[in-house]
Amino acid sequence: MAATQRHGRRIMMTPGELDTFLTEQRTCRVATVSEDGRPHASALWYAWDGTSLWLYSITRSRRWKDLRMDPRTAVVVDDGEDYGQLRGVELSGTAEFVGEAPRTGLPCPELDTPEKLFARKNFGLETMPHDGRHAWVRLTPDAVVSWDFRKMSAE
């Protein structure tokens, strides 16, 4: 169960707003730390299943290597151009690797839902195309912090 947000409660998203936001957005930013302690942030498409964020990462990327070495991560999904329109979510926790790496499409029931969600959202397809270069990382967050600055103008 994710930790409860303490600060900024008046601008935090409700559970329904959070679910809608994460379902609708496409791009997240994944933060990792390399073996030598250097931080790394990278943009990535994702799918949200209502509980976990599913990342489809290139297995030869620095992000993949960093998460294999230290699976602790934070991911930000945000939106908005003007200050008063900014909104977003930070999810943090421990990454889990699911399925074969790299993914070639071997049967893996645990990936049925995220692959359908990802294929529909990002490719407009009903089935996931596999290129033998990517694999799945699941983040079921320990902590979630959200903000929606549009709520400040409503006061």
pLDDT at 28 over 70: yes
What gap in Å lies between CA 133 and CA 58, rounded to an integer?
A: 6
Which pair of structure tokens corresponds to residue 75?
A: 């991911």
Asked whether residue 3 is assigned to any structural domain, the reply reads no
Average pLDDT over residues 102-123: 96
Host domain of residue 33: 9-150
Spatial neighbors of 61 by CB under 8 A, at least 6 apart, are 42
Looking at residue 140, which CATH number applies to its domain?
2.30.110.10
Q: Determine the pLDDT at residue 2.
A: 55
Q: Residue 118: pLDDT band by 50, 70, 90 thresholds? A: very high
Distance of CA 25 to the CA centre of its chain: 10
| 130 φ/ψ sector (left φ>0, alpha ψ -120 to 50, else beta) | beta
Give me the pLDDT at residue 12, please.
Answer: 92
- Check if the beta carbon of residue 111 is closer than 8 Å to that of residue 99: yes
The pLDDT score that the predictor gives to residue 154 is 59
pLDDT the model gives residue 1: 46
Phi, psi of 65 (to 5 degrees): -60, -45
Question: How many domains are contained in the chain?
Answer: 1
| Cross-strand partners of 42 | 30
In a domain, 127, yes or no: yes
Pick the residue with more confidence: 42 or 10?
42
